[in-house]
């Protein structure tokens, strides 16, 4: 009887984790907006204007190598909008906070800004368990 209960608990745990992962990944598929945070080379970060800056665009990913993808946010306004956000970061927090980066929520991973032409802004990106610095 105990093994049957253990199996049920295990199944429910796996189902719950799978559902959470699906929800988190699907959120980016539908989100048309992103919050902006500012980051340093060492991974310190702060919300731009206390998390009051929201930009529009869409999430995309590009293939880095076999089985490795990098997620990024294609911002409306392209490279000029990215440069403007980088300037705002430096103005608000100093030269160390030179990377403007997108987030879908407070628990987002490290993603980068890009434009429709494939340009990806500098920053810190972590995807699929791998650390990728561009």
Q: Which of 96, 94, 82 is nearest to 44 (CA)?
A: 96
Q: What is the per-residue pLDDT across 1-56, written as a single tens digit (0 to 9) for each? A: 667 777 666 666 665 555 444 444 444 445 799 999 999 999 999 999 999 999 99
What is the distance between the alpha carbons of residues 94 and 47, in angstroms, rounded to a whole number? 13
* Total length of the chain: 134
- Tell me how far the alpha carbon of residue 20 is from its chain's centroid: 17
Record the pTM: 0.72
Q: What is the pLDDT of residues 55-103, one digit of tens each?
A: 999 999 888 887 788 889 999 999 999 999 999 999 999 999 999 999 9
Please answer whether residues 63 and 89 qualify as being in contact, where contact means their C-beta atoms are separated by less than 8 angstroms: no
């Amino acid at each position: 009887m105990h093994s049957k209960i253990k199996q049920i608990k295990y199944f429910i745990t796996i189902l719950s984790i799978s559902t959470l992962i699906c929800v988190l990944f699907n959120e980016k598929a539908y989100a048309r907006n992103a919050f902006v945070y500012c980051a340093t080379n060492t991974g310190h970060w702060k919300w731009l204007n206390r998390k009051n800056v929201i930009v529009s665009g869409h999430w995309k990913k590009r293939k880095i190598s076999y089985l490795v993808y990098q997620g990024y946010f294609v911002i409306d306004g392209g490279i000029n909008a990215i440069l403007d956000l980088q300037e705002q970061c430096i103005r608000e927090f100093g030269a160390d906070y030179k990377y403007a980066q997108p987030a879908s929520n407070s628990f987002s991973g490290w993603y980068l800004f890009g434009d429709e032409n494939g340009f990806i802004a500098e920053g810190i990106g972590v995807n699929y368990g791998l650390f990728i610095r561009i």
